[in-house]
Each structure stands twice: as structure tokens, then as C-alpha cells.
Structure 1
Amino acid sequence: MSGERSAVDRECRRTKRIVRRSLDSLRRIGRIARWEVSRSAGTVDRKTVLVAVAMLLVVGAVGLSVADDGLGLADELYVVGVDGDDPYADVVAESDRFRAVPLEDVEISGDGTDSNVDVVVTRDGELGYVGENGEQAFDAFRDAIESYNENRMAEADDEVAAYPVLVTVSYQERDPLRPDGTTSPAESDGTDSGARDDSSTESSPDDGAAADSDGMTDGSTADSDGVTDGSSEPTDETRDGDELRVPDVGGTIDERTTTGTPSTLSPPFPFQSLLLAFLFIVPMNFVVQAYGSTIMDERIKRRGELLLVSPSSRYEIVGGKTLPYVLGLVAIVVATAVAIGGGPLSVAAVIPIALVFLGSTFVGAMLARSFKELTFVTVTISVFLTTYAFVPAIFTEVTPIALISPLTIVVVDLQGDPVTAGEYLFSTATFYLSAFVLFLLGIGIYREEDMFAQKPIPAKILDAITSQIDSISARVGGHWSPFVLSILGIPFVFAAQLLTVSLLFVVPDVVALPIMLVVAAAIEEFAKSVHVYAGFARGRFEATGRTAAVLGAFSGAGFFVGEKLTHLGQLVGLPELAVGTAAFGPELTGGVSIAVLAAVVLAPLALHVVTATISAAGARRGSIPYAVAFVVATLVHALYNLGVIVLVT
């Protein structure tokens, strides 16, 4: 009993020590955070406050102007001279953009510059425009006439007479086996138009520009009139019904159809929601600029030296300095979401983007040697991350590739559509992991020999990687560091490949496939070999052939383990795209044999080990041999991917 009691006492004392150390660490982080807030607040001048206020006003104005109600900036923008009993007066009354003036009050000068109207409707029904804004006002008035006629037809009791012609468009998946994007005859959508023979109803006021015989649609379907959407169900050979799959955003492509008259059909593009989602990104740039400046100020003026000699660890120092900016970004995200009508899902989708902005800016501030370099680094980071977040979201209603951007989740949330847990994790997991790794790399060089030394950026990058090699080696051994670092590099590989897929999505497959094969291979080979090269360059590994072979095997095996996570790409249908197949491999169906499955599993493992060993063999001899070996490994990898695609497809 006494032995059991003593063991329990030891465990309780151990738990108390852990809790006490954790509380002390939190107190130090909070103290550093308060010091960071007070120091930063003291450096803010009037110009900075004015810029911040102007930025908030611009963001708020844009957000409200694209919202449903808007700011009313275009209300009564143009003046139309028309009598009250004229049919066109109803068009003016229905549109907020125009203000009516009776014809007897119209004043037109000789050159039209001093006229009090922009558009004139004569008593015999003719239209004309005057003044500098007359042409724009005339075009807007024609659009208002068309909208007026559409609304009148939508109210008609006789739908057949109101809509004599309807066209149904079905959006179909492209066949990855056909580089030109065409489908086989069996997959042809067979889209046609249905014409109705009934005479049209009495038309609304029109100058010839408004819709009449072709009739504007109100979104009603044409199934009852024989118009077929031509959508075809996927066969078992291309999609296994029992396969786990995250649903595409907005439903599968071949289920989405658009019905209307020819003049109203347009490609799906969530402009309004996408613009509102983009408002989350704009304020982040100002916050991360301030964050990067304070880190750079610590280095240039050597103020960080005092913190380094304090009892606080590097993790506590960085955590305390970053915490105020994290809270500031969260507050901005929540305020923006409330302003534009987003919910908690929008906030949860944007938070990982904010963390990546902070993490990449922290690394950039640790690498830059001056504020000029910092400006270049932060602008580059901002452009890259904004592109990654914004471009894929453009295809929200077209392809599942949009899910690689968390802004897609915001767009879907603003449109009121549901989002599954799998879709959220697929969009944000890469951002969370990337932010974690970025902060690890930055903390690795948050030390005196790197913070206050004027080293070139490539040298500091090698130091950041080497610090992680030292940290891992101290815990699990030196040869395991390539294994772990290859896994940690997977988020960046996944993000780079997904961005490449999104950029090559609109490029013809005959051009995109070769580019994707080489780029995907180069990204993976770099991620597998850069830490091995850093270890050799900094003397952490013995420069022998045996060591290179061992490190290559560990690095390749680690990348293979991490790469299995990218199979999440198959859950959203990316392998159905040709460039997605080139990046992530073909999709497996339910009829694959055990032997083929084993080959599919073991062959990539052998590939990664072989190519990583090739790069490691060059890395041990120096930078130039490493570059040559890297190119060789990339070509081997690309040829392997090409062979797999040819064999499987």
C-alpha cells in the first residue's frame, strides 16, 4: 500500500509541475503580448491611423455596395425626359437608376453639354440621348427596358406565349482521356432547344432593343416542352457507387443545368459572393505588414536581444509577439463576416488563411536583411497567397478544384449552401499545417547567430532547415530527421501542386499534361531533397555514399507516408481532371486486384526512395552536383508518372 501511495504521490507531483510550468509559460506569453501591444501602439502615428480608417471605409463601402441592398450609389444616376402617360415612364419608375423629367421641363443646349437630361423619349416613341453621359445612360436605359419586359413576361398567365423559345444548357465533365476535351458520342449531352408555336402575348414598351419574340426566361424549366438536358449518369467504369467521395460544391457538374432564352444564358460565376469573400483578404495585408515590421525592428535595432537573454523560450517569445496580431485578425474576420452577412463557417474558413499570412510573414521577416527586402518578401507572399485563395474560388460553380481554396467555403456559405466536414477539412487542412511548419522554421532561426547576422536569404533558409534537423536528431536520431521533414513538407507540396492544377485547368490538355508532369515531379523532388542538402551543407551528415543512400531511403519513405494524405484529392474528384491525374495519380476503382493494388502501393515507395537517393548522392558533393542530380531525379519521376498514367488509363 505504501508503494502504491508513493507512486500516486509522485504522479501527482509530476502533474503539478507540468501544470505549473504551463501556467508560467502562459503568463510569460501574456506579458510579452501586452508589451508588444503597448510598444506597437506607441509607434502608431496619425498617418497610420488615417490609412487604417480609410482602408476600413473602403472595405465597408465595397462590401455594402455589392450586398443585396447596397449603398444606393447608383440611385437616380441618370435623368430621362419622358411624359408621365408614356409607357416608358413605367420603366423609369421601376428602376432606381433613373429619374423622370416631363418633356415640357427638358432643356437641351446646342452642343448638349448644359442639358438637364441624359435620355429623351419623344411623344412619338423615339429614343435619343444628349450630353457627356448620354451614351452610357442610353445603354443603361435599354437594359432597364429589357428587365422591365422580362418582369412583365414572368407575370404572364400564359407561360407558353411568354416564352416561345427556351434553351437548356447542361454542364458536362470533360473526359480526361480526350486531350481536346470532347466527349464520346455516348457521352454527348444532346442539348437542343425547344420552340413553341404559340403566338406571343402583347409586348411591353420596346424600342427594338428589348426582348420580344425571344422572350426572357424567369428560370422555369422546359422539361414539359420536350427540351432535354442531355445529362448522362456516370458509368461504373468511371465512378464506383460505393467509393467514399466528398460531394462537389453545388452538386455534380452533370446535374447542374441552366434554362433560359439565348440572351440570358451565361457561364456560372459567383461574382457577388466572391467579391464579398475577397474583402476578408484585403485587411489582412495591413496587419501582416505591421507584424513583419515589428519582427524586423527587433532585428535591426537589436531589441530582440533582451528577450533572448530572458528566461522565456523562443516559442514563448514568438507566441507572445504573435498573439496580438492573431487576435486582431480574428476580430477583423468576425467584423467582416458580420458586415457582409457571413456566418461562423465563413470565419472558420478564413482563420487558416490568416494564420498562413502571419506564418509566412514571420519567416520572411526573419530572412530579410533590411526593410527593403522585407517589403519585397511580404508583397511576394501577399500576391502568392491571394492568388492561391482567390483564383480557385472563381470556379466554385464549375469544378471541385475550387475546394482547394478556403474562400470557396466562404462563397458557398454566403450563397446559403451547406458545407460538409470533409469539404472544410480538404480546404483548410493544408493551410493549418503550412502555418504550423512556417512558424517552426521561423522559430528555428530566432536566435542571435541568425537574427543579427547579415546572411544571404538562401543561407538563412538552410539554417532554418538545419535547426529542425538538430531538433529532430536530439529526440529520435539523426537519420530520422529526413523522414520527419519529408512529411512536414507535404502541405507545401500539396498546395503547390493544387495551385498548379488550378492555373492549368483552362489550358488545353495537350499542353497542360506535360507541364504538370514535370512541375509535379520537380515540386516533390525538391521537398524530398532540400533538407538532405541542408544537412550536408551544414555538416550535419557525413558526406559518404552510404550516408547518402540511407538518408535518401529515409527521405523517400517519409515522403511516401505523407503523400498518402494527398489521396484526399480523390475524395473531391480531382483525378477526374487530366491535370489532376498528372499531379495526384489516377483514380482507382473497385475492381482492382490485390496484385495491382500492391504494385500501386509499393511502386511509388520504390520511386521515392530511388529518386531521393539520386538527389542525396548529388547533395553530398556540393550545390552544382546537387542541381544536376535534382534534374535527373525530376526526369525519372516525370517518366514514371507518365508511364503510370498510360498504363492505368
Structure 2
Amino acid sequence: MTAGDWRRRLRRIARIARWELSQTTTSYNRRTLVIAFVIMAVVGGVGGAALSLGVASPAPNTDIYRIGVADDSRYTEVIETSNSLVAREADRRGLRTGEIDLLIEEVRQPTAPPDEPQPVPTLIVDRADSDKGNAALTAFRSAIQRYNNRLMAAEQNSSAAYPVIVQLRYQPQSTLGAAALGETEDTGDTTSDGTDGAETNGVDDGGGTDSAETNGIDDRGETDGTDNGRGDGTGDTTGGSGDATDGDGTDDSTGDDTASSEQSTPAVDGTGDSLLGIDLFGGGGTSGSPAEISPPFPFSSLLLAFIFLVPMNFIIQAYGSSILNERISRRGELLLVAPVERLDIVAGKTLPYVAVAVAVTAAIAFGIGGSLFSVFAVIPIALTFLAATFVGAMFARSFKELTFVTVTITVFLTSYIFIPSIFTNVTPIALISPLTLVVMELQGEAVGLGSYVFSTAPFYLSSGVLFLLGTGVYREEDMFSQKRVPLKFLDALDARLSGLRSVGVLTALFVPFVFVFELLGVAVLFILPISISIPAILVVVAVVEEIAKSIHIYAGFENDTFDRSIATALRLGAASGVGFFVAEKFTIVAQAVGLPGLELGRAALQPAGVTPSTGTLLLLGPLVLHIVTTGISALGARRNLRQYVATLLAAVAIHVAYNFGVVQLYG
């Protein structure tokens, strides 16, 4: 195609876009516009309130524990930096009446000679005789630990802050070894001499107690100055760096203690536990299971999902109504008979809504303090919303069906976008959602290219495939027919089939959808125990992949595109299996964010050969599996729906057995 041809196509697309824009703006009456304006004003008001709060939005536990402490106490700053704690006047009577939950007092010790270290004041902690008092004591101890950890991380002299560093290195014991288990070099299990609960700049954790040790505090919350495994527990400062050590400088609670608190408390220099660091899983010594992490309340993710996605719902409603109205009123015939390609028609009708979505997204992103990166992170979400709505509008027979379709689209995509972002700063599962990229940018964290591709590529590819399928039924025999939605779906698939090669290509195009469903399964099942989540994700993977490999083959047989011989079915199954095998290797991008390092992520991706170290079985096994299982499904698809479902279940059973075998052998 020459440059002149491209210019003519672009002019036609622009003309159709202007026509679509004029038709849309004149189709709404004043009442509808007023209602839309009021709703948008409400959304803007909520967004404005969020702007005044910033990204660090309030959580349900904000200022929940009232701590009585003197204004000049060393612990006042600790309380002020903790969201769950709020300082109150140090009054013992308030402790008895319930006005405060915890009372902090310090007893000065006799002054030592000038040439000797000065004694640290004895800390006396009294808690209210209630469950809330116990919880306040725990929260106070954790706040001290987080405060000390932040000060240690901000110390320029790292050797003074962390005098002793222990590195754990796991050596492979087999062909795959530790690499397959995600146990790469781990520098996160680090014990720092005297840093866990030690005094920093004159603040200790209560006379020798730390978050892992309660023997130093009696039932009344008072410290006795002892600490198991920590020598004398006096917390004498070492001078110079402002750090402190206890006794012999050892602690029976090592790097795991520090990491557990740092999961939810980033370092003050902004280089704390980042999802984009070199070691995504080793730091902290936790396995990443929900039982070992304490994710912050996802207020920022919830708010961003609200202010970004609510406007998109208005846009897709207008877009879907326009597409369906052309089908019902048969106005689309004018474009179908015009000398314009179907792809140009769809592009022209979609362009105004894409422009509005980008403009709204940019306004919101810049309004909340984001940059162009936030816009580029949300654009694929908008494209997917529009693409799914376009397909739904092409399949629906009435506005009632369209409403059901758009609600389903909204619920699914919102769940996919919001649920993973809950785990921002906790686990790479959060990077499944592009919304996590926005949250990370607002928090000042760097985002690598691999993370951006991992988060947005499924959306870009899925939107492209959806537009391709919808364009396939943008023809008179499908637009103005009253076929049911499932039959329209089969027609859309059949429109892209012409031979063996087309079957393999269409299977490859389904891989982004497979990736999306599998990632959503990982995010949803992540909250369950490993003993349940791993078998469940293996079943989910098998079901999703087998449907994706065979549904279009069934569509081809139903529309008589292929002859129903056994040989043809086996050839189609082989072509689909090869296409899927080749395309699924692109899921290697999951390694860019370390998803195979999680047990659940490894279980989902390992049967496909997405592992740090891959054996012969993981290279050739999936190819044989996909050819065999798709061939079985194709044998049933050539007959009827009932036979197809039966053979599909058989293929799923074989696939599940294979997945279990691979996980047992290599995981």
C-alpha cells in the first residue's frame, strides 16, 4: 500500500469519526446531559477530596490507639509517624477511665561519670486492662521497630547501621535445582547486630524488648530490663552513628523480624522493598503467603480504580449504544455499502471514544500528581473496555442484552484491575494490574520496562484481538440478524478461519486471553492456603487452555468450514496445539517481574516451560500435550456440542494430570 493510499484511508477514518461524534452529541437530550454532568461532578468531588488527602489516604485503623506520652519523650516522634497511634496527655487516671489505651513513662537513671556512657532512661509501659490495651501495646512495639528500621535504612554509613551481614546462598541439587523453585541468591535474610529493636538516636523498643520477644514485659506492660538472647538488655548507645546494641549484640530474632515490619513500611530514602528491585522474593525472608504478610489497606488502589474506571463506564455506555443503535435502526447499511473497508469503519467509529477516554485519563492522572506514564498505564485499560464493549454490542440483540453484557464486562475488568493492586508493595502479583503502575509512580518508585510490558501487554493484545473478532461480524448477514449471542460468537470465530494455518494463528491470538484468565486466577487464589490454591490453579489453567485451543475448531465444524472427517479433526488439533505451544512461550515476560518465584505463580507457569531453568520435558512435553489434548477435543467437536463437551472434559483431565505431574517432579 502506497503513502497515498494510507492518506486516503486516514481521511476516510477522520470523516467517519467526525460523523460519529456529531451523531453522538446530538442524540442526548438536556435532561440526560444534566444527569451525566451531576454524576461526573460527584466523581470529580470524590477525586478532589482524594487529592487533598494525597496517596497516603486514611485507613480503617487510623488513630485507633490512644497513647499517653509526654511531649518531650523520645517516643513522641515514633507515635506521630504511626498511622494507628495518636498521642494523648500522659495521665494515669486516663488509663483507668479508658481515655487512653497505653501509658508511656520514662524513669531517669543516675548520671554516670563523664567518661562513661550515660544510662538510658528506664521505660515503663502500662496498658489498659482490655483487649484493646493489648493490641495497643503490640502496635506500639511494631511502630518502634519500624521507626528504627527506617532510621537504619537512612544511615549513610551502612556498615555502622548493619555491622553484621549474613548472606544465604542456595546451591542447586539437581538439573533444575533451586532455580526452578525460585530460590536464587537471597540477600534478604540479614541479621544486623543490634538493629532489631535496638536503640537508634536514643529510642529503643522498651528496655530490651522487641516485636518478637515479650518476656521483657510483664502482665502490666512494665519492662524489667531483660531480654532473652540479648545479653543485659540495657540498650546502651554506641555513640557516633546514633545506633545502639544490646549486650553481646546478638538477637534470637533475625532478618525475618526486620523484613516482616518492612513489608508495609518503605525506607525513608525511597529505596525500600520495591516490586522492581533486583530480588523480588528473597528480601525479607518471607514466602509471600498471606499468612506471613500484612498488606496495607488498599485505599489508594480502591480510590484510583474508582476515579479512573467510573468515567470509562460512561464512555463505553455511549459507545455500545451507538453501535447497537446502528444495528437496530439499520443506519449501518449506509456505511456497509460505501467503498470503505470494515476496519476503517470500526476505527472511525471508535476513534472519538478513544480520544475522550485518553483526555479523561490524562486529566485524572495529572490531577492526582501523575505524569504521562500514568496515562500510558491506563490507556490499555480504556482500549480493552472499548474493545469488549464493541464485541458485546455486535453480539447483543437488544439494549437489554447490551446492558447485561456491559455490566459483565465492567465487573470482570474491574475485578482484574483492582484485586491484584491490593498487594502493591507486597508481592509481584500486584503487577498483574496496570493500576499498580500508577500507584507505584505516585509513591515515587521506579518502574522498569519489563514490568510495564507484563502489566499492559495482555490488555493491548486482548483489545486488538477483540476488535479483530468484532470486525469479522461487521457485515450485513450478522449485524442485522437476530441470532443468539453464543451463535454470534461462533460466527465471529468462524469468520477468521480458512485453513490449517488460520487455526494455529487464531489459537495464538487467544493466548493473551489465556494469560489474563490465568493471572486473574493466581490473584484470586493467592489468598487461599497453598494446599488448596495450587491444585485449584492447575485445574483453572487446564480448563482455560483447553477451551482456548478448541472452541474455534468447534465453530469451524458448526459452520461447515471444515469437513467432519477424523483426519481433518486431527490435523486441526495438531495445528492448534502447535500454535498455542509457540505463542505461550511469550509468557516468559512473567519472569521479568519474578512471578515464577511465588509457589502459586510457579504452579501456573511451570507446566508451560516458563521457569528459570528448563529441562527437556518442559520443552517438548507441552508440545506433545497440546497436540494430543486438542486432537481429542477436535474429535468430539466434529460431531456435535454434547460430544465436544465430553471430549473437552477428557482433554482437561489429561491436562490436569500432566500439570500435577510436572509440579510434583520439578516443584
Normalising by structure 2, we get a TM-score of: 0.70
Give the direction of change, closer, same or farther, for the CA distance of 1:223–1:356 in structure 2 (3 Å limit).
Answer: farther
Residue 639 (str. 1) matches residue 650 (str. 2): no
Instruction: Identify the match of residue 605 of structure 1 among 612, 623, 630.
Output: 623
Q: Secondary structure at the match of 1:44?
A: coil
CA–CA separation in structure 2 for the residues paired with 1:213 and 1:188: 31
Whether contact under 8 Å (2:549, 2:630) holds in the other structure is yes
* Distance in 2, Cα, partners of 1:275 & 1:452: 40
Alpha-carbon separation, structure 2, partners of 1:362 and 1:222 = 62
Question: How many angstroms does 1:162 deviate by?
Answer: 9.7
What does residue range 277-292 of structure 1 map to in structure 2 within 5 Å? 277-278=304-305, 279-292=307-320
Q: Which residue of structure 2 lines up, in the alignment, with residue 28 of structure 1?
A: 12
Residues in 1 aligned to 2:469 and 2:451: alpha-carbon distance in whole angstroms: 28
Whichever residue aligns with residue 624 of structure 1, its letter is R
The answer to whether structure 1 residue 372 and structure 2 residue 400 are counterparts is: yes
Cα deviation for residue 647 of structure 1 reads 1.2
Q: Is the 1:249–1:397 Cα contact (8 Å) retained in structure 2?
A: no
Structure 1 residue identity aligned to 2:34: L
Instruction: Say whether the 8 Å CA contact 1:486–1:527 is kept in structure 2.
Output: yes
1:623 matches 2:648: no
1:318 matched to 2:339? The reply is no
Aligned with residue 517 of structure 1, among 538, 542, 561: 538
> Counterpart in 2 of 1:342?
370
1:580-614 CA-to-partner distances (Å, cap 9, x unmatched) read 2221116777776xxx33x3211111111011110
Residue identity opposite 1:500 in structure 2: G
CA displacement at 1:124 relative to structure 2: 12
Instruction: Give the equivalent residue in structure 1 for 2:468.
Output: 440
* 1:517–1:270 Cα change, 3 Å: same
Deviations 1:471-515 (A, max 9, x none): xx3xxxx11111101100000000000000110001111111221
CA distance in 1: counterparts of 2:336 and 2:427, whole angstroms: 49
The structural deviation recorded for 1:569 is 1.8
The separation in 2 between residues aligned to 1:605 and 1:163, in whole angstroms, is 66
Q: Which residue is equivalent to 2:598? A: 577
Write the distance in 1 (CA, Å) between the matches of 2:54 and 2:275: 31
**Is residue 60 from structure 1 mapped to residue 44 from structure 2 by the alignment?**
yes
Residue 574 (structure 1) shift: 1.9
Give the Cα–Cα distance (whole angstroms) in 2 for the partners of residues 590 and 198 of structure 1.
43
Equivalence for 1:83: none
Aligned to 2:115: none
State which of 521, 528, 541 in structure 1 corresponds to 2:549: 528
1:248 pairs with one of 272, 275, 281:
275
Letter in 1 for 2:385: F
> Does 2:560 correspond to 1:561?
no
Quick one: which amino acid aligns to residue 286 of structure 1? Answer: F
Q: Is the 8 A contact 1:559 1:608 kept in 2?
A: yes
Q: Structure 1 residue 383 and structure 2 residue 418: aligned? A: no
Q: Give distance in 1, aligned partners of 2:542 and 2:244.
A: 48
- The structure with the greater share of residues assigned to helix is 1
Report percent identity of matched pairs.
Answer: 48
1:311/1:162 Cα in 2 relative to 1: closer, same or farther (>3 Å)? farther
Q: Which residue of 2 aligns with 1:230?
A: 255
Task: Give the superposition deviation at 1:519.
Answer: 1.2
* Matching residue of 1:4: none
Contact 2:198 2:243 in 1 (8 A): no
Give the direction of change, closer, same or farther, for the CA distance of 1:590–1:629 in structure 2 (3 Å limit): closer
Aligned equivalent of 1:107? none
Q: Distance between the aligned counterparts of 1:563 and 1:267, measured in 2? A: 33
Q: CA deviation at 1:411?
A: 0.7
Matched residue, 1:3: none
CA RMSD of aligned residues (A): 4.4
Cα 1:224–1:310, aligned 2, differ >3 Å: closer, same or farther? farther
Are the aligned partners of 2:319 and 2:386 in contact in 1 as well (CA < 8 Å)? yes
SS in structure 2 of the partner of residue 391 of structure 1: helix
Mapped contact 2:304–2:435 kept (Cα < 8 A): yes
Q: Is the 8 A contact 2:633 2:648 kept in 1?
A: yes
**Aligned-pair distance for 1:550?**
0.7
Contact 2:390 2:467 (C-alpha < 8 Å) held by counterparts: yes
Q: Does 1:49 align with 2:33?
A: yes
Number of the residue aligned with 1:269: 296
- In structure 1, the residue matched to 2:231 is none
* Residue 442 (structure 2) pairs with residue 424 (structure 1): no
Deviation, 1:125, is 7.6
CA distance in 1, matches of 2:188, 2:467: 50
Distance change (3 Å), C-alpha of 1:70 and 1:573: closer
| Cα shift readout 1:447-484 (whole Å, capped 9, x = no counterpart) | 11111111011100010001111xxx3xxxx1111110
Q: Deviations over 1:86-120 (max 9, x none)?
A: 99xxx9xx99xxxxxxxxxxxxxxxxxxxxxxxxx
CA 1:65–1:224 in structure 2 vs 1: closer, same or farther (change >3 Å)? farther
Would the aligned equivalents of 1:249 and 1:403 in 2 still touch at CA under 8 Å?
no
The answer as to whether partners of 2:428 and 2:593 remain within 8 angstroms in 1 is yes
Corresponding position: 1:550 with 2:577: no
Amino acid at match of 1:271: P
User: Does structure 1 retain, via aligned residues, the 8 Å contact 2:565–2:638?
Assistant: yes
Query: How many aligned positions are there?
Result: 524
Give the Cα separation in 1 of the matches to 2:394 and 2:413. 19
* Consecutive unaligned residues in structure 1, runs of 5 or more: 1-14, 75-85, 96-120, 130-137, 150-157, 202-210, 215-219, 234-246, 259-264
| TM-score, normalised by the number of residues in structure 1 | 0.71
- What does 1:463-478 align with in structure 2 at a 5 Å threshold? 463-469=491-497, 473=498, 478=499
Give the 5 Å matches for 1:295-334: 295-334=323-362
Does the CA-based 8 Å contact 2:602-2:611 persist in structure 1?
no
User: Could you tell me which residue of structure 1 aligns to residue 113 of structure 2?
Assistant: none
What is residue 118 of structure 1 aligned with on the other side?
none
SS in 2 for 1:252: coil
CA deviation after TM superposition for structure 1 residue 25, in Å: 1.1
Amino acid paired to 1:547: T
Q: Alpha carbons of 1:590 and 1:128: their partners in 2 closer, same or farther (altered >3 Å)?
A: closer
CA distance in 2, matches of 1:569, 1:632: 29
State the distance in 2 between where 1:418 and 1:213 align: 42
Tell me if structure 1 keeps the 8 A contact 2:342–2:474. Answer: yes
SS for the counterpart of 2:561 is coil
1:358 lines up with 2:376 in the alignment: no
- My pick for the range that moved more, 359-368 or 562-571, is 562-571
* CA 1:70–1:557: 2 relative to 1, 3 Å: closer
In structure 2, the residue matched to 1:9 is none
CA distance in 1, matches of 2:205, 2:430: 44
Letter in 2 for 1:230: G
The one-letter amino acid of 2:585's match is: K
Residue of structure 1 aligned with 2:510, choices 475, 480, 489? 489
Separation in 1, partners of 2:583, 2:556:
21
The offset of 1:314, in angstroms, is 0.9
Cα pair 1:396 1:408 within 8 Å, conserved:
yes
Q: Which runs of 5+ in 2 are unaligned?
A: 59-69, 81-88, 106-117, 125-140, 150-167, 171-176, 208-220, 225-240, 259-273, 287-291
Query: What secondary structure, in the 3-state scheme, does the structure 2 residue paired with 1:269 have?
Result: coil
Partners in 1 of 2:544 and 2:205 — Cα distance?
63
